[in-house]
C-alpha cells in the first residue's frame, strides 16, 4: 500500500473544507428558516415583532429563496406555516357561542385583515417579487 501523495492530501483537505462550508450554509438556512417560522407565529399570536425584526425576516426570506430550499419554501409557507397560523386564530373563537362568538369572530376578522395580512405581505414581499403565488384556502 502506498502512502498518499501531497496532491491527494490537498484534495482531501479541499473536500473537507467544501463539506464544512456546505454544513455552515445549511445551518444558516435552518436558523433563518426557524427565525421566519417563529416570527410568523408571533404575528398570529399577537406578540408583535421586535424592532428591526421585519427587516431581518424579509432578508431571511430573500436568502432562503436563493438556496436549494427556495423551491420548497412557498409550499412550506402555504401548507404548513400559514395553516398553523390560521389554526391559532381558529382556536381563539372555536369554543364561543351566540353573541360572544359573533363578537370574537368580528374581532379576529379585523385583526387578521388589519394586522396579520399586511405583516405577512411585508415579511414575504420577496416571494411576491419572485412571482411565486401563495394562497390561503379554508
For residue 7, what pLDDT band results from cuts at 50, 70 and 90?
low
Over 60: is that where the pLDDT of 132 sits? no
Residue 137 to residue 135: CA distance in whole angstroms: 6
For residue 77, what pLDDT band results from cuts at 50, 70 and 90?
confident
Domain at 44, CATH number = 1.20.1310
pLDDT the model gives residue 57: 94
Q: What is the pLDDT of residues 22-57, one digit of tens each?
A: 555 555 668 888 999 999 999 999 998 999 999 999
- Count, in order, helices (H) and strands (E) of the chain: 7, 0
How many domains are there within the chain?
1
**68 lies in a domain?**
yes
Domain of 130 in residue numbering reads as 6-137
- The residue written with cell numbers 379585523 in the block is 110
Most confident stretch, 70-74, 77-81, 98-102 = 98-102
Distance of CA 29 to the CA centre of its chain: 10
Amino acid at each position: 500500500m502506498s502512502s498518499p501523495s501531497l496532491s491527494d492530501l490537498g484534495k482531501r483537505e479541499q473536500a473537507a473544507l467544501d463539506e464544512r462550508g456546505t454544513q455552515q450554509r445549511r445551518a444558516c438556512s435552518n436558523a433563518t428558516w426557524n427565525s421566519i417560522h417563529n416570527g410568523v407565529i408571533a404575528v398570529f399570536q399577537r406578540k408583535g415583532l421586535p424592532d428591526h425584526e421585519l427587516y431581518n425576516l424579509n432578508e431571511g426570506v430573500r436568502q432562503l429563496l436563493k438556496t436549494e430550499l427556495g423551491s420548497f419554501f412557498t409550499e412550506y409557507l402555504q401548507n404548513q406555516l400559514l395553516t398553523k397560523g390560521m389554526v391559532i386564530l381558529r382556536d381563539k373563537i372555536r369554543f364561543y357561542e351566540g353573541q360572544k362568538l359573533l363578537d370574537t369572530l368580528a374581532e379576529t376578522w379585523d385583526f387578521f385583515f388589519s394586522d396579520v395580512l399586511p405583516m405577512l405581505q411585508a415579511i414575504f414581499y420577496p416571494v411576491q417579487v419572485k412571482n411565486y403565488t401563495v394562497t390561503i384556502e379554508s
